[in-house]
Amino acid sequence: MISRRTLFASTLGITGGLLLPTAGAGAAPADWSRAVVDSTIARYPDPASLGGWGYTRGLFLLGAHRVYQRVKEPSYLAYIKRWVDNFVDADGHMSRTFDNLDAMQSGNLLLVLHQETGDPRYRTAADQIRNRITSYPRTADGGMWHATGKTNELWGDGVFMAQPFLLRYGIAYGDQAYAYEEVTRNLSVYFRHLKASNGLLYHAFDADGDAPWKPDPTTGTSGYFWARAIGWTAMTHVEVLEMLPANHPRRAELIGNVRHLAKGFVRYQDPATGRWFQVVDKASDPGNWTETSASSMYTLMLHAALKHGWISGGAYASAARRGYQGVLRKVSVGSDGLTNISDISEGTNVGDLAYYLNRPRNTNDLHGLGAFLLMNERLAH
């Protein structure tokens, strides 16, 4: 039987061998998600070698779990568990303070493992993050600071780090009332401060106006539209809306946010590649380049918004199709038989135009691998 997801994807013209990327030295695999997970595990056979507790590892492993949910390959779940167990002791304690949003993202894996294994250690560790959220500092209108050392600063890349975790936690453990209110308020506050009239979002906002990246004295925003910050926000809206009750009072506002971004994504999509630029609205700048992780995130949002009926129309369907094709062209198989995903921006702070354009263009950076898996599991399967 053809799945609803595959049927929907086919209406956008995004399935079938014609859209597979050039395989380089190796044959194109039948399942790019599995190939990316298998290749990454082959490169890092000991999960500890992925690195310490942090959002990039959490993003990739969350993507790997989505693949596991489809294919039920036991080694995938075992790999996730081995990585997490480096940080959770026998009593479920984690030696962390969670003083920035980035540190919370991998908490999603604690929820996954508690559900998959029933081991109470993972619930205890998740409780530690949930309890920190209660006391975590916020702006006057309720937005969680990007980090305790970044007073009253809201960064667009921060919402994915805490809000989906909090909502999943609330639904799993009877804490829905707090989670629904806190998560939707944060998305509302962040979007209101970062929103630009062109369909995009500024990277950051500072309520105090004294951040070292020199906020605009009138709006408090940073000066540029960095692609992945917008992508994080886009993915967060999809994840949250898919868990939020249909009658939630802020649901219409969040769908409006998705529509705002969808218009911007269509407006600024590169017609030549189908991808989006590192600084989204500066396509004509000779130093600009199309960035793969953000392009995966934008494609994911467009596809999900079409599927759920939050947006409609041929322009959006075309943008999703061309976005997927464009990302796939950055995926290849090397002479060693392992996959490579190229042109992924390194982790990035708030900066000026030259800073964004000169970020390293990495291959197989976990930002891009995780974003690709989350996108591909929706579009290809």
Q: At what angle do helices 366-379 and 32-43 cross, to 10 degrees?
A: 150
- How many domains does one find in the chain? 1
The residue behind tokens 């995004």 is: 14
Average the pLDDT over 250-256 and give the result.
98
Tens of pLDDT, residue by residue over 144-203, are: 999 999 999 999 999 999 999 999 999 999 999 999 999 999 999 999 999 999 999 999
C-alpha torsion angle, residues 84, 87, 91, 92 (rounded to 10): -60
- Do the Cβ atoms of 368 and 60 come closer than 8 Å? no
For residue 40, tell me if it sits in a domain: yes
Task: Please give the distance of CA 186 from its chain centroid, rounded to a whole number.
Answer: 16
Q: What is the pTM of this model?
A: 0.94
pLDDT at 91 over 80: yes
Please tell me the number of Cα atoms within 13 Å of 239 on its side-chain side.
24
For residue 212, tell me if it sits in a domain: yes
- Which residues have a Cβ under 8 Å from the Cβ of 221 and sit 6 or more positions away? 193, 194, 196, 202, 204, 205, 215
For residue 289, tell me if it sits in a domain: yes
For residue 63, tell me if it sits in a domain: yes
For residue 26, tell me if it sits in a domain: no
For residue 10, tell me if it sits in a domain: no
Identify any residues that bridge with 344 across adjacent strands, giving them in sequence order.
362
Among 157, 206, 343, 365, the one annotated catalytic? 157
Give the model's confidence band at 26: pLDDT under 50 very low, under 70 low, under 90 confident, else very high. low
For residue 2, tell me if it sits in a domain: no
Whether 119 is a known active-site residue: answer no
Query: For residue 116, what are its two tokens?
Result: 């998959």
Residue 145 pLDDT: 98
Say how far apart CA 116 and CA 105 lie, in whole Å. Answer: 18
For residue 126, tell me if it sits in a domain: yes
What would the DSSP string read from start to end of 343-364?
Answer: -EEPP--S--HHHHHTS-EESS
CATH number at residue 370: 1.50.10.10
- Do the Cβ atoms of 137 and 145 come closer than 8 Å? yes
The residue among 344, 329, 259, 300 whose CA lies nearest residue 21 is: 329
Which range marks the domain in which residue 260 is found?
A: 32-380
Average the pLDDT over 115-122 and give the result.
98
Say how far apart CA 369 and CA 63 lie, in whole Å. Answer: 8
pLDDT at 21 over 90: no
